Amino acid sequence: MIILANDGIAAGAKAELEALGFTVDTDKYEGEALEQRIREVECIIIRSATKIREALIDKAVGGKLKLMIRAGVGLDNIDVKYAEEKGFVVRNTPTASSAAVAELAIAHMFSLARHIYIANVTMRNGEWNKKAYKGIELGGKTLGLIGFGRISQEVAKRAIALGMDVIYTDILGASDLVPEAKFVEFDEVLANSDFISLHIPFIPSVGVVLGDAEFAKMKDGVYLVDTARGKVVSEDALLKALDSGKVAAAALDVFEEEPTPNEAIYTHPKISLTPHIGAATSEAQDRIGEVTVAICKEVLL
């Protein structure tokens, strides 16, 4: 059986799959070449780059394909319902990268609080802006979490250990999994947080979660971190809020347009940037690999 790892796969997982007798193809196929190749393999594994939309799923019908694995959390690059209706099994690896994304969100909070992202840029230009970089401490500040699933709970535990007060909102209501964190309504997160971090999926029917109206309800000088999905925050509204001073600074790992973000975003002096690397740690990739191997065994053997 052939497994196509179209966006790559951890070396350990590839070796394990080969030891189980699978052939693992790590070439990258796009367009018509992918439409052809997807018919010849039993499984396709993707990260965030490859999109499996209805047209590609139609091409796969009648071929050998049984299983689609999203090696990661967000399933928004696969038309899951359509694929399942056509008889394909669709799986992801929901827990494997929670710690990695949580650490990145915390890293971005430190980066914003102490101007680390911009000091790196200006020092490389020969500037010594010591006076401009008076920062703030995270300890004693209120962190508001939007969404309180797997990643958010890991952020909450780390923030509490740093001495932050943690409030959160979630459409599922209160949870007792991190007792020191307090459930509040969405508007209370907006009104009371010094830092806001998003940990929700992008749901097209829900659309933007933070737009002009929501920024208006935030504290003046709030810091925003988005490691969830670019489209949950309106980039236009964020730019306005940064320029008015409503938002002191923002950190983005995800963008409305990837991999070519808007120039106004990536050149903005108050935005700390990373190129969608939330899950990109060795440990998370190894865990994703282990879960991927387990899914292939379960579904294909």
Backbone angles phi, psi at 134, to 5 degrees: -70, 125
Q: Give the shortest CB-15-to-ligand NAD separation in angstroms.
A: 25
* Interface positions with ligand NAD (CB under 6 A): 72-74, 94, 97-98, 101, 146-152, 169-172, 199-201, 206, 209, 227-229, 253-254, 276, 278-279
18 is catalytic: no
Measured at CB, which residue is nearest to ligand NAD?
149
Return the number of the residue (70 or 268) whose C-beta is nearest ligand NAD: 70
Q: Give the shortest CB-86-to-ligand NAD separation in angstroms.
A: 24
CB 48 within 8 A of CB 7: yes
Q: Give the shortest CB-60-to-ligand NAD separation in angstroms.
A: 24
Return the number of the residue (24 or 265) whose C-beta is nearest ligand NAD: 265
Return the number of the residue (29 or 183) whose C-beta is nearest ligand NAD: 183
Catalytic hit among 229, 256, 268, 287: 229
Catalytic hit among 40, 258, 283, 298: 258
Return the number of the residue (6 or 97) whose C-beta is nearest ligand NAD: 97
- Sheet containing strand 222-226, edge to edge, reads 182-183, 165-169, 142-146, 195-198, 222-226, 247-252, 271-273
Q: Give the shortest CB-134-to-ligand NAD separation in angstroms.
A: 30
How far apart CA 11 and CA 287 sit, in angstroms, is: 12
Neighbours of 123 (CB within 10 A): 11
258 is catalytic: yes
Of 10, 69, 15, nearest in space to 299 by CA: 69
**Which residues are marked as active site?**
229, 258, 276
